Structure 1
Amino acid sequence: MPVPHIRFATFDDEDTLGRLDRATWSPLHAVTPRPRPPYEPFYNERFGPRDHLVAELGDDVVGYIRLGFPTPLPCNSHVRQIQGLAVADEARGAGVGRALLRAAQEEARRQGARRITLRVLGHNTPARKLYESEGFVVEGILPEEFLLDGAYVDDVLMGRHL
């Protein structure tokens, strides 16, 4: 199996990333309704290409990770937060998610961050196992924070030092 190539996103990736984001939508990780046309642009005033790392297998973009600040406060600027991660169904099991997660941690370190955090739904066992295998620990749980498809779901806060 080839190793994913990780790079920063470009403006030219916007349509591809939007399609990938819609194709990978799942109640396992989404708290928003399934996207419907007309679709919102993938990039917006808050997140642009430099906030995304993309994974390629061959010539195909098969995943992305969004890295941002948890708050706009200067006293919190030493922390980065993973605010989105998607892997195409056909690339699952190829190490794409792990490669993106490791690249995001490297980029956060390069930016001078001391910590990296994320939020994951309590029932998303595959993602939680991946994060734990990369050194993330549960730092808090918001019980029954979301009502999704008639079931209450915990919001799990995870983080690690860099």
Structure 2
Amino acid sequence: MAIEVRFSRESDFEQLLEIDNRIWNTATTPAVIKWNSISEYKQRNPEGSQLVALVNGKVAGYLGFHSPTPLDTNQHVLEIDIAVDHHFQGSGVGKSLLSSAEKIFKERGIKKLSLRVLETNSGAISFYQKCGFIEQGKLINEFFIDGKYVNDLLMYRLLE
């Protein structure tokens, strides 16, 4: 299966919105993401603010990125989030997104990728560990989801 990775375009927004509305739930995020319109999605995720993975021209997943703070002293770090459509999970889409992101971000002087993941999301944690991410902290009882307290794991990977 050929996977193409590139920066997001406005023509991707409908498919990206659909992926978000399908995959984010109380097992994967502390606040379920539901977009009401493409214009709402576009306002929060402008063109080029995500890497998208395409399989046969269809958006299969994305990697979002942003600076964790506006501080100049923190601009070598990017916080990322990854979403892969259920139909493409386990097919290399997530790894392709991460591999492409690391290459692009290293060229831009980024030294560290960080992310947050719910401790209950064991599939995502396993994926991140396989990709070289290490736990750097844990926010205990950070969220109250479906009647239970859930820890939020902080993970990172240094880009050499």
Match of 2:30 in 1: 31
Identity of aligned residues (%): 33
Alignment of 1:135-150 (within 5 A): 135-150=132-147
Distance (Å, rounded) in 2 between the aligned partners of 1:32 and 1:39: 19
Alignment of 1:12-91 (within 5 A): 12-33=11-32, 35=34, 37=36, 41-44=40-43, 47-82=45-80, 84-91=81-88
Runs of 4+ in structure 1 deviating by more than 6 angstroms, as ranges, are: none
- 1:64 Cα deviation after fit: 0.6
Q: In the alignment, is the contact (CA less than 8 A) between 1:3 and 1:95 conserved in 2?
A: no
Distance (Å, rounded) in 1 between the aligned partners of 2:37 and 2:57: 28
Task: Number of aligned residue pairs: give it.
Answer: 159
- 1:37 Cα deviation after fit: 4.2
Instruction: Name stretches of at least 5 consecutive residues in structure 1 with no aligned partner.
Output: none
1:3 maps to 2:2: yes
Q: In the alignment, is the contact (CA less than 8 A) between 1:64 and 1:100 conserved in 2?
A: yes
Q: In the alignment, is the contact (CA less than 8 A) between 2:20 and 2:34 conserved in 1?
A: no
Q: Please give the per-residue CA displacement for 1:82-112, whole angstroms capped at 9, x wherever unaligned.
A: 0x32111111111111111222222221211
Q: Secondary structure at the match of 1:43?
A: helix
Taking structure 2 as the reference length, the TM-score comes to 0.91
Distance (Å, rounded) in 2 between the aligned partners of 1:33 and 1:106: 30
Distance (Å, rounded) in 1 between the aligned partners of 2:37 and 2:157: 38
Match of 2:92 in 1: 95
